[in-house]
Structure 1
Amino acid sequence: MKKFTLILALIGMITLQSCTVNNDDRDGIDNDTIAEVFEYTNVNFLPNDYTVVLEYPHSIFTSDMVLVYRLSGSFQGEDIWKPLPETYYFGDGTLDLRYDFDFTRFDAQVYMEGFDLAGVSSSYRLNQILRVVVIPASFGKNSTVNLNDYNAVVSAFNIDESKIIKM
């Protein structure tokens, strides 16, 4: 009886160990990987150093990749999200301003660079809306999804816009 119980337990362990779920589609998009989006409203780049720190609601994995997008307007009722870094030039081709960022496991630091940031229109400095998208780094390196296209990233991860975490 002990041998029968041992064999049954061994078969059960082997059977349960082989249960995996892989929701990847034919294009290689990983549909069972979790991505997150954090939205920050009323972001102001102030004259002290034109830098803002966007703290996450929780730490992310060291293997995660962070993408930052800025709401730059809308067209026919659809939001236009531009990826950072984002650069604007004067008519003569010289740098007017640039948004850029770096990130840690705990926050993203978004900053403006330029020659006369105090003279930049307040529409570029005040009341900005930014979205931080956290995805696994392996997806970013091995994917055919255009990471510069916010809508393509959201679609690839099946991100439900109603579940975006508002900060």
Structure 2
Amino acid sequence: MKKILSLLALFAVILTSCTGDPGPPGRDGIDGLDGINGEDGAPPALVFDDNITFSFNNENGLWESAFVDFNDKYGVVPQPQDVVLAYRQEGDVDGNPIWSQLPQNFFLDQGTIQYLFTFTDIDIQFIIDGNFDLSNLDIGFTDNQNFRIVFVPAEFAENFNGDFSNLKAVMSALNLKESDVQQMK
């Protein structure tokens, strides 16, 4: 038995130590067709406009949107370190929308309301909170509200020296134009 094992071991050593001709080298690719290599950039920033209608939640006394799944609705899977910004359209002047970053407060005769948003790595929800009974809040605050959601890559957010509340400055710094905004239905 020892002789068989010794012979098998010797055969394995001889077999693995053998080398052969490596063969001819492969053909080189055609130079220049792939372009000049540059630095890797940050993942693209993405911007979406979404129309939201809130529903009143009797249990907590808040107006809430449905949870919006980033991947299902926007086709986006943000990284955990990415920044999600949200803005609400207050109106427009000469066809130009006026955007305010959330949270956003309104001081009414009955008290104060605040538009908020919460998000995780997979979804976002918009909320209207207040310091009075919100069950009879005017539909001008709850129905067909336009929100702009901006996904900012972490690398950009870390180095941005501007004002995140200024949507125009954020979009300019991200090299985004209005034509880059994806309209959701």
TM > 0.5 fold call: yes
For residues 158 and 39 of structure 2, the distance between their equivalents in structure 1, rounded to whole angstroms, comes to 22
Partner of 2:16: none
Of 89, 94, 116, which aligns to 1:100?
116
For residues 126 and 106 of structure 2, the distance between their equivalents in structure 1, rounded to whole angstroms, comes to 16
For residues 63 and 108 of structure 2, the distance between their equivalents in structure 1, rounded to whole angstroms, comes to 19
Query: The residue matched to 2:106 in structure 1 has which SS?
Result: strand
Q: State yes or no: 1:154 paired with 2:165.
A: no
Partner of 2:134: 117
**Structure 1 contact 140–147 (Cα < 8 Å) conserved:** no
Partner of 2:69: 55
Partner of 1:74: 92
Query: The residue matched to 2:152 in structure 1 has which SS?
Result: strand
For residues 183 and 95 of structure 2, the distance between their equivalents in structure 1, rounded to whole angstroms, comes to 21
Q: What's the RMSD between the two structures over aligned residues?
A: 2.8
Deviation at residue 124 of structure 1 after TM alignment: 0.8
**Structure 1 contact 87–95 (Cα < 8 Å) conserved:** no
Work out the number of aligned pairs and report it: 145
| Larger Cα-atom Rg | 2
For residues 98 and 88 of structure 2, the distance between their equivalents in structure 1, rounded to whole angstroms, comes to 8
Query: The residue matched to 1:50 in structure 2 has which SS?
Result: strand
Unpaired stretches in structure 2, ≥5 consecutive residues:
1-21, 29-36
- Aligned-residue sequence identity (percent) comes to 30
- The amino acid across from 2:127 in the alignment is Y
Unpaired stretches in structure 1, ≥5 consecutive residues:
10-18, 24-31
For residues 151 and 112 of structure 1, the distance between their equivalents in structure 2, rounded to whole angstroms, comes to 25
Partner of 2:50: 40
Of 132, 139, 143, which aligns to 2:149?
132
Query: The residue matched to 2:163 in structure 1 has which SS?
Result: coil
**Structure 1 contact 65–135 (Cα < 8 Å) conserved:** yes
* TM-score where L is the length of structure 2: 0.67
